Structure 1
Amino acid sequence: MAQRRAVPMGPMVAAMVAGAAVAGGIFWRLNLSAIDSQITAKAGAMKKLVLSGKIPPNDEVMAYLTSRQASLDRRYQEWLQRVASAPVAEAASADPQLYFQEQFHEVQRTLERLATARAMAVPEQLGFPKELPPSDTVPRLLIQLSLIKEAAALIFEQGVSALTSFKIDDPQPVLQPKGEEPFLTRLPVRVRFNASLPQLMKVLGAIQRVTPLIDVLAIRAAPATDTLEVELLLSRYLVTAETPGPPRDDEEAAEVPRAKPGSSKRPATSPKPAKPTPHDE
């Protein structure tokens, strides 16, 4: 009786990984595109509320515009907080380079603590400058450091077999249509680890639930001995364009110029010159 041939598992695992990677990448791109389009729509709606300065609105129109402007500002800030990272702490403004050095060592200690608790090797931090970085690069480096710290905790929690390294990439401005100034800048970080397919799915699910958004730009996975060798290209976002702050209660009334009581709705006209009289001639 002929023996049944064992079905090779390598191609099947590779196909499953490729399918999961493509599905995950498409989902993240659609999610980010939807958020970006809503931010663009809110910004366009806010621009339409700017008055031309010709005819002041009456009290009813003024009240509507004030309420609408405040509502758009609040929703704009909510979407901004979901997408972009928080501003750099005030402590970084006094001595940015020293603050970066302190945060770098803090993240390194966190990685050592997480790895030691699981009897694993400490992952490397690659791509950072060997010397103190220029002050103008510190804000984006701090965001990338924060991403490394948060991603390490998420990945370790899913029980991966090894977390190898983190490597920061150069910032990438998000291009806008019609040559407008970039509103956001991507701050990518590459992370490599070994995990099973279920563990990889758990890692992606945990990343999806994080706020502010962690964007998954790329997923690469290759079969190893008993696990998958995975590389994720993650990114946080930094706001590079000037954005309005959240409105205060005492400023909402001053956003739209009020019409003077009793003012005419027709614009004022200059008086016509009087006809000369015979005496004037």
Structure 2
Amino acid sequence: MPTVPEDSGRAPKPRALIVTVYGLYARETGGWMSVASLIQMLAQCGVDEPSVRSSIFRLKRRGLLTAAKAGGVAGYALSGTAREILDEGDRRIFQRRRATTGEGWLIVVFSVPESERDKRHQLRSRLSWLGFGTVSAGVWIAPAHLLDETRETLARHGLETYVDLFRSDHAGFAATAERVRTWWDLDRLHELYDAFLTRHAPVLSGYRRRRRIDGARAFADYVTALTDWRRLPYLEPGLPLEVLPPHWIGLRAAEVFFDLRRRLAGPAHDYVESLRAEAVSA
């Protein structure tokens, strides 16, 4: 999964779309998909065959996919690391977990020797990916409900020896809402949510007026929306509404995504199943 957020206002990159497709549909059939199926599916999203093949190669090089054949058919399977990442992502992406200030905060304090500065970079990347805000260079903060996920992620990457974890409350001196604006870039988050709404709210409006849903179109719209959405719950990890600006735009973006999911996930899955049935009978 990328550690740098993609601009939700632009078309998702083929690599990101492939990860979404594997996360949605490959795990339920053992984690493997044929190259031909991927090419056919991604064509619905406007991605050509050379782009699919080059993106698969990059995902293989990153250790997320492994080449494998099934019944003599060429394809790729999810690696163990990719499965762990996708399984963890399900909790964050598909659950609307919203903290309250009464639950407190999770504080990460770390110190890394200068001789291991690469570990420092890894720590910062992991914490940023998890959605932590920055209090100072070696002190990061997040809602307390991220404790278990943070433990698992840091341990999986061998970073736990550099870190201490604390549960705490913010006791002043400035108001917590004021501090949150310095710990997280709320203006940038607003821009990303707004870009998501600009792209996908009109799509949802179209489906609300539609009686019949085309499976291939539903697949393309759902996979694209999920690919755009899946990074946002990491960038904004369910911060308490009490410390966010009034009428926080993230709530409206979540409503659009989950309404699209409710309408499109079923028809999209049926479309993928129809492709699998065709492949078996061919």
Same fold by TM-score, threshold 0.5 exceeded?
no
TM-score w.r.t. structure 2 length?
0.24
Kindly name which structure, 1 or 2, has the bigger radius of gyration based on alpha carbons: 1
TM-score w.r.t. structure 1 length?
0.24
Q: Which has the higher helix share?
A: 2
